[in-house]
Chain A
């Protein structure tokens, strides 16, 4: 991306200026969730949504609904060495304390939630009930690490921890003395493996059965 004020070129994924007067500077990341529209709308009924440009929509140039499926078949330009996953495999990318971890979406679909520890930070990664929205939280509650499980047969989705506290998909406690308390959100980037690996060459890759 290029800014119009200084003409510097910015790297999209990292937010770092790579050429121009601002080279070496970084944009402050804003916390972002990648959710299905239904999940977002249920959480933020008062929110606003970017609308299409009428001219572009009329020309039919916006991405079609099955765009993600189509993209998964586009050849990859950047070759990552010794791929452990398919180049176009979707991963949940997480960076904490300068360490990066990749959690294949396919693994999360089989085992929900994923419990892990990355560079000392205890993590819980949750796939929403829509099967597409993904969030991650720090499992530290009141200074102690907790284990999280999916509460069986619950709709909407509920997590339950080893102390009996129930949490919803936003990471808010629903019962007991913690009611209303919020788990610390961890930024996730749903990304293709080749892309994640390019920007995070030292990334670890989570495999099922690791724990």
Chain B
């Protein structure tokens, strides 16, 4: 009964609006997903990158945390709007599923996924040269000496972490490999 009343009130425009929502929701989800997937696709290990691709990725990584939340809020508003009108249980389920899926890119935009593969060492620990049993004599090290403080960064560890921040002889350095 309510359904019929609502329909007569808004007429054809309401019907189109309702269909639009079913179109808009997946579209929002798709757009949101695209924002976070494109940088992953453009910056792949063992694939060459162009200046342009990096530029696009940088802009997307910069904006996606905000943009994905805006789209999530918009999706939420659409779901709320559609909720009362969706009479069938499977329509309600679909609304919930679409909304939940929109959370995925919003969460992903907040992850530094590059760090999933390349783990920077946040709390780096050091031992004295004579106690470093984990390095073989023939292993290569990156050696830095500043103001009489000498530090060795074993290449085998650097090949995993890639970036280690340290202070050597009072100078803040970033060792990379």
Interface, chain A (partner B; CB < 8 A): 1-2, 7, 9, 12, 18-20, 27, 30-38, 40-41, 43-53, 56-57, 61-65, 67-68, 74-75, 77-79, 130, 132
Contact = CB atoms under 8 A, between A and B. Distances in A.
Contacts of B125: 50-51
Interface in B53-112: 54-55, 58, 62, 112
A34 B143 contact: yes
Nearest to B134: A52
A198 B162 CA distance: 20
Interface in B103-141: 112, 114, 119, 121, 124-130, 132, 134-141
B54 A37 contact: no
Contact of B154 (A31, A37, A44, A75): A37
B58 A20 contact: yes
Contacts of B132: 37, 41, 49, 51
A40 B137 CA distance: 9
Given A32-B144, A46-B150, A48-B127, A37 B139 contact: yes
Chain A interface mostly helix, strand, loop or mixed?
loop
Contact of A19 (B55, B112, B121): B55
B142 A12 contact: no
B55 A79 contact: no
Q: Chain B binding site: helix, strand, loop or mixed by DSSP?
A: mixed
Interface string B155-166: 111111011100
A50 B126 contact: yes
| Closest 7 pairs between A and B when the two form their complex, measured CB to CB | A47-B150, A38-B137, A44-B150, A49-B132, A48-B126, A63-B159, A19-B58
A35 B126 contact: no
B40 interface: no
B159 A67 contact: yes
A78 B50 CA distance: 10
A49 B149 CA distance: 11
B166 to A, nearest CB: 8
Given A36-B140, A49-B151, A51-B134, A41 B126 contact: no
Contacts of B143: 32-35, 40, 44, 47
Contacts of B157: 50, 52, 62-63
A53 B121 contact: yes
Nearest to B127: A51
B160 A36 contact: no
Given A1-B163, A63-B160, A50 B144 contact: no
Nearest to B120: A1
Nearest to A71: B159
A9 B140 contact: no
A202 B137 CA distance: 36
A38 B129 contact: no
A38 B153 CA distance: 13
B140 A49 contact: no
**B129, B134, B144, B173, most chain A CB atoms within 10 A:** B129
Contacts of A7: 62
